[in-house]
Amino acid sequence: MDHIVRLDSREEAALQAIAERFIARHKGDPVKALKEMIVFNGHLQQRLDALQASRLPQRDASGRRG
């Protein structure tokens, strides 16, 4: 983990409610819900990486920007 998120009590309560609804959508199975969230986050990370790569200046074989 390279980033620690700190929540105040209001944010924690909101996150708890969302988590409970998400688990309920998966018929009360927290492992199934967690697996779906991991897959979903992986897809989002791939999209973010692709966007970031498209915005960076391209480098040639020597490492120079061009």
pLDDT at 63: 64
Query: Which residues are CB-contacts of 33 (< 8 A; sequence separation ≥ 6)?
Result: 22, 23, 25, 26
Confidence of residue 2 (pLDDT cuts 50, 70, 90): confident
pLDDT at 56: 78
Given a cut of 80, whether residue 43 has pLDDT beyond it is yes
pTM of this structure:
0.61
Rounded Cα gap, residues 18 and 22, in angstroms: 6
Rounded Cα gap, residues 66 and 38, in angstroms: 37
- Is there a contact between 22 and 33 (Cβ–Cβ < 8 Å)? yes
Query: Which residues are CB-contacts of 66 (< 8 A; sequence separation ≥ 6)?
Result: 57, 58, 59, 60
